Structure 1
Amino acid sequence: MWSNRPSSIRGAFLIAGTIRPNYNQWRTTISTLSLGDGGWVQIGNFCLFGASTLCIAIALKRLMRNGPGSRWGPHLLIIIGVGLILAGPFVTDPILGYPPTLPSNGSPSLHGTVHNIASLIVFIALPALSFVMARRFARDSAQGWAVYSIASGILIIVLVVWFFAAVGAATRHPDGGGVPPGLLERLFSIAGCCWLSLIAFRLLKQERLEGK
């Protein structure tokens, strides 16, 4: 079911990162799971997540016909879904020493550039969506959901900015300390997946109630 797909995706990349040989999921980015043997699993993961997000967008459009967020809510979800689908087949370039058999300091490839742009769009659109939905929830007197959405958006922004800074630091100083980029990426990915899953369940419940 589309409503629990974000949670399934979260579990998939955590499991894949644990069992992949020579892969340090606390240091290395999620996208590099698309490289090497078994890379098709993460490619499919991105595509399934994107497709389920598009399904959520359709449900949101049907339920939010007017009022705050009725336009930008579904549109942002479509942007996120398309970005995730593009991030699948357009795999990232090697980064932070993974895969160890490939150089990670070469010129960006076309597919790597498309992947990075698509990922950046998702990173921006997701917190934007949470703020749009917070406004909608506030209008509907769902204050708890509004606060949760705002808090999730702020947390994702902070972790994304920190993640990019950590990637830059790890690239300049491969043997240095600091917070591992992979950990930061997984934290904001989990935060985003949890929020999106709960929103999807809420939409499903609302859809069932309106269908009675």
Structure 2
Amino acid sequence: MSTDTLDPTATPRLAVPTRVLLGGGAVAGPLFVLLIVAQALTRDGFDAARHPLSMLSLGEHGWIQTANFLVCGVLVLASAAGLRRVLAPGSAGRAWGTALIAVYGASLVWAGVFPTDPMDGFPAGTPAGAGEVSWHGMLHNLAPVGMGLALSAACLVFARRFAREGRRGWTIYSVAAVAVYLVLGLAAFPAGEYRLMLAGGAAIWTWAAMLSLMFLIERGDRPSS
């Protein structure tokens, strides 16, 4: 384990809350994906191939996805604070890496606060086609852009860090996660297949969760934790 990984100045009084913060980040990615998949399979009229996942926040049971955005966003923000605590001051990733993870979390919260617009027959009774874009729909559309850019950059920041530490597996994983996200995300639009975008998102969301889990486990090896 690299001496640059953990902050040697961390004190026991921070151990429990830091574990909780990192644990929240480890839970956020899988929870977000599982709730989306569960809803996509059970919501009447929702077609994951042609409806963006954000549309799950609409209709009678839309509160579930809204809560998913908000809760997972808060958990990710918590993980950014936890990562900042365990990374040594001045180390690679502590400034930019944690800030980018925080932007990812804030984007999830933003998506929950500003709902997208009905379109293409969902929810039930919505006319076919693109439909009109409201002011909150325009604001919502900023969320996936901010989330995607922030997480892609975070992957590369931490990939550089892991490469310097000689962690080949984590370096490859970090680069692969952003590559899968970008390739599938870009392929989704010409193919008219939003499930590709969801699969790409799952790859990078779970990367962020695994990052928190890794630091949580490493911190558990220390006497002060």
TM-score, scaled to structure 2:
0.83
C-alpha separation between the residues in 1 aligned to 2:90 and 2:118?
A: 44
- Describe how 1:54-93 pairs up with structure 2 within 5 A: 54-64=77-87, 65-93=89-117
C-alpha separation between the residues in 1 aligned to 2:32 and 2:131?
A: 30
| Offset, 1:77 | 0.8
Residue among 153, 176, 200 paired with 2:178? 153
- State the SS of the aligned residue for 1:88: helix
C-alpha separation between the residues in 1 aligned to 2:145 and 2:120?
A: 18
Residue among 171, 188, 194 paired with 2:206? 194
Amino acid corresponding to residue 155 of structure 2 in structure 1: S
Q: Does 1:37 align with 2:60?
A: yes
Amino acid corresponding to residue 208 of structure 2 in structure 1: L
8 Å contact kept, 1:30–1:185: no
Q: Which moved more, 1:93-102 or 1:141-150?
A: 93-102
Q: Does 1:94 align with 2:118?
A: yes
- State the SS of the aligned residue for 2:125: coil
| Offset, 1:97 | 3.3
Residue among 110, 123, 132 paired with 2:157? 132
Match of 1:209 in 2: 221
Residue among 13, 28, 33 paired with 1:5? 28
8 Å contact kept, 1:68–1:139: no
Structure-2 change in CA distance of 1:179 and 1:119 (3 Å): closer
| Offset, 1:179 | 4.8
8 Å contact kept, 2:181–2:197: no
Amino acid corresponding to residue 153 of structure 1 in structure 2: V
- State the SS of the aligned residue for 2:41: helix
8 Å contact kept, 2:70–2:108: yes
Q: How many residues align?
A: 199
Q: Tell me which structure has the larger Cα radius of gyration.
A: 2
User: What is the CA deviation profile of residues 31-87 of structure 1, one whole-angstrom value per residue up to 9, with x for unaligned ones?
Assistant: 000000100000000111111111110111112222222211010011111111010
RMSD of the TM alignment (CA)?
Answer: 1.6
Residue among 94, 112, 115 paired with 2:137? 112
Amino acid corresponding to residue 85 of structure 1 in structure 2: V
Gapped runs of 5+ residues in structure 2?
1-22
Amino acid corresponding to residue 23 of structure 1 in structure 2: F
8 Å contact kept, 1:86–1:115: yes
| Offset, 1:145 | 0.1
User: What is the CA deviation profile of residues 11-48 of structure 1, one whole-angstrom value per residue up to 9, with x for unaligned ones?
Assistant: 11100111101111232111000000100000000111
Amino acid corresponding to residue 121 of structure 2 in structure 1: G
C-alpha separation between the residues in 2 aligned to 1:23 and 1:187?
A: 17
